[in-house]
């Protein structure tokens, strides 16, 4: 019997079975791809949250720049109704008008304003000390020394975000960045709009454009309403306090106008300052300041706000106050100032999403 040839296999030897499916550690496996996609989503979300926490201050500055740009854009659009000239010229007129108003105000009232600010600080400190001493004598609050120690300890424990805007240099730098960003955004808004659209997938660009346009419109209306309320509240406060003989009426009117940009919380701050200054000059002026604050706030709440609310975004007071508390606790004074614009834009995005979902449900039905 002849031996088996070298190129032939024995009859009892079987051909080995090869595994053709992808191994569990290869990306060709559908299950592995699905798990990797899920992990990528959660990993990306964690990175995004970490970046927001680390970069929250620049993000808030950019958002404030968008708010300033919306203010300038609103003035440009309003001026365009009466002046049929190019957008650049209208923007230049608006910027020059704002600068002229600020410089004229400080030129006419600069010395008086500085004196009243200095006097206001001393008056508020003295009145606060009297209130603390009176409450301490009644056993309601701890001693003034203990209270001052607790106050300084609380200030020392404030986070890095709040301390950044706490210094004069930080405030000045932040304001410069905000104004420059707002001016650049207002000069060429279409460029930045197209840049954002390029970052969005093609099938979502139309929906993204509709949402951002509604956000911009809502923001312009919100800020227009805020400016109207600020002007009305500041002028009325100044005139009423001046008539009643309350000291530092001009600076209190300016503070009331600025604080009107932050509803709810700003009203309490203005009222506390007005009442403290009023009672420093006597009981009569104190009650006049209290009545002025009540009348001005009632006029703003029952006359100005309802009229403006018809043309602007409707934000529930409880939602606004909750967002202000949350934003101030997380992001400091800058977050408090931007709480309303952030709430308005989030509200618009959620309303658009609900509207889009309703359209999809109607199509499927």
Residue 214 near residue 100, CB atoms below 8 Å:
no
* Residue count of the chain: 365
pLDDT band at 166 (very low <50, low <70, confident <90, very high): very low
The mean predicted confidence, pLDDT, of the chain is: 76
Q: What is the mean pLDDT of residues 68-76?
A: 89
Q: Which DSSP state fits 304? A: I
d(CA 56, CA 213): 24
Tens digit of each residue's pLDDT (9 = 90 or more) over 334-357: 888 888 888 888 888 888 888 888
pLDDT band at 156 (very low <50, low <70, confident <90, very high): very low
Residue 280 near residue 123, CB atoms below 8 Å:
yes
Name the 3-class secondary structure at 61.
Answer: helix
d(CA 126, CA 120): 10
List Cα–Cα distances, 129 to 57, 121, 188, in angstroms. 34, 12, 52
pTM score over 0.75: no
Q: What is the mean pLDDT of residues 63-74?
A: 90
Residue 302 has a pLDDT of 67
pLDDT band at 274 (very low <50, low <70, confident <90, very high): confident
Residue 164 has a pLDDT of 41
298 pLDDT more than 50: yes
Residue 147 near residue 141, CB atoms below 8 Å:
yes
Q: Is 245 left (phi over 0), alpha (psi -120 to 50) or beta?
A: left
DSSP string covering 201-247, please? -GGGHHHHHHHHHHHHHHHHHHHHHHHHHHHHHHHHHHHHHHHTT-T
Instruction: Give percent of the chain above pLDDT 90.
Output: 1
């Amino acid at each position: 019997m002849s031996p088996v040839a070298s190129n032939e296999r024995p009859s009892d030897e079987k051909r080995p079975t090869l595994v053709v499916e992808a191994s569990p550690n290869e990306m060709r496996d559908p299950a592995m791809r699905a798990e990797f996609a899920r992990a990528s989503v959660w990993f990306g979300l964690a990175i995004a949250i970490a970046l927001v926490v680390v970069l929250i201050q620049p993000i808030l500055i950019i958002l404030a720049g968008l708010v300033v740009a919306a203010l300038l854009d609103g003035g440009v659009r309003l001026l365009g109704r009466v002046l049929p000239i190019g957008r650049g010229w209208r923007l230049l007129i608006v910027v020059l008008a704002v600068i002229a108003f600020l410089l004229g105000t400080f030129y006419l009232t600069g010395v008086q304003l500085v004196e009243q600010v200095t006097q206001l600080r001393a008056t508020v400190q003295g009145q606060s000390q009297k209130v603390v001493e009176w409450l301490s004598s009644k056993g309601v609050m701890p001693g003034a020394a203990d209270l001052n120690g607790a106050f300084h300890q609380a200030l020392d424990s404030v986070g890095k975000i709040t301390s950044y805007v706490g210094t004069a240099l930080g405030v000045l730098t932040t304001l410069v960045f905000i104004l420059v960003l707002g001016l650049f955004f207002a000069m060429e808004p279409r460029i930045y709009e197209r840049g954002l659209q390029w970052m969005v997938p093609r099938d979502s660009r139309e929906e993204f454009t509709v949402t951002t346009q509604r956000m911009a419109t809502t923001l312009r209306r919100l800020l227009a309403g805020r400016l109207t309320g600020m002007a009305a509240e500041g002028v009325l406060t100044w005139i009423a306090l001046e008539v009643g003989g309350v000291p530092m009426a001009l600076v209190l009117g300016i503070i009331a106008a600025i604080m009107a940009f932050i509803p709810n919380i700003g009203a309490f701050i203005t009222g506390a300052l007005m009442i403290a200054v009023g009672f420093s000059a006597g009981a009569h002026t104190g009650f006049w300041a209290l009545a002025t604050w009540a009348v001005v706030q009632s006029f703003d709440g029952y006359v100005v706000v309802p009229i403006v609310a018809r043309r602007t975004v409707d934000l529930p007071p409880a939602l606004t106050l909750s967002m202000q508390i949350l934003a101030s606790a997380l992001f400091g004074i800058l977050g408090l100032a931007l709480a309303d614009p952030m709430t308005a834009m989030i509200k618009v995005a959620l309303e658009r999403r609900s509207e889009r979902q309703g359209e999809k449900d109607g199509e499927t039905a």
